[in-house]
Amino acid sequence: MFRPSYVGPYQRGELEARAERAAALAAPCCLCPQRCRADRTSAKPGICGSPLEARVSSAFAHFGEEAVLVGCRGSGTIFFCGCSLRCNFCQNWEISHAPDSGQSLDSGELAALMLELQRSGCHNINLVTPTHYVHAILAALALAAAKGLEIPLVYNCGGYESLETLALLDGVVDIFMPDIKFYDDRTAARFLKASDYGSRTREALKAMHSQVGVLQTGPDGTAFRGLLVRHLVLPGGLAGTGQWAAWIARELSPDTYVNIMDQYRPCFAAAGDSQIGRRPGEAEFRRAVDEALAAGLSGRGFERLI
């Protein structure tokens, strides 16, 4: 019988302690690798622009995620506002670049939201852009576990994570789902507010893999534990698909579940940009898939593409 990772820490009384440690990292804020040390209780929050109390844009049973998360009843997504990466091509910029949008929720309200998604039949709780609210999430998780939350917890992030924050999630998160972007730091610096994106993300992926391993699915085909990597193909090979694939195959596992995605379109400030102001062509996407296979990935997660 499946038991979520967070049940153990809850029963040992550790979730509340981890929430307190995360809260200490949140003010002044060092939750993400930016370490901007912002006073999030003031009128001048940091790079992500987020206040201390969690702000949620929406929550619902999502059927547009990977099939291993959606199953037949949907993935219980909670979309948090704000983001420390500030990608200039963000497809969710109305949420990620507007930290004061959505609704402010305390830990009890966030816990109630998790429980409602479970009651509606969702296969998991899918936390979207959660990094800057880890303190609030851990506090809410302790309350939700006390009231019977018992489905997998998905940490759906941009890959840019602090090792110190990830340590607080060890034995708590069931599925890590990082969306990896640029392999090269210099390329990342042009499009993100993170000039060390590639190197920091590789450190984070190693930590995630060490915590949960390769993706595991149950008899019904839905995932219950492991690492699921998303990678968006960008025009001109800017994302470094072949480099990412070789690194993942070598440093993590050739069987890492990697979803190579073709959904890129120029959004937000990307329209008209000389490098990312267009969609990649079919040939570029196929080349990216071929590079990933040639680099050593088994193709798990993108069998439908080959």
d(CA 181, CA 194): 11
**CB 76 within 8 Å of CB 97:** no
d(CA 218, CA 259): 19
**CB 123 within 8 Å of CB 152:** yes
d(CA 19, CA 168): 8
Peptide bond into 28 cis (omega under 30): yes
**CB 182 within 8 Å of CB 191:** yes
What does the longest C-alpha to C-alpha distance in the chain come to? Answer: 54
Is residue 48 a known part of a binding site?
Answer: no
Is residue 83 a known part of a binding site?
Answer: yes
Is residue 90 a known part of a binding site?
Answer: yes
Integer CA distances (angstroms), 149 to 62, 64, 112, 214, in order? 18, 23, 10, 24
Which one, of 95, 116, 72, lies nearest residue 158 by Cα? 95
Please provide the size of the chain in residues.
306
Angle at 225 (CA atoms; ends 224, 228), nearest 5 degrees: 105
Per the annotation, binding residues are 83, 87, 90
Per the annotation, binding residues for [4Fe-4S] cluster are 83, 87, 90
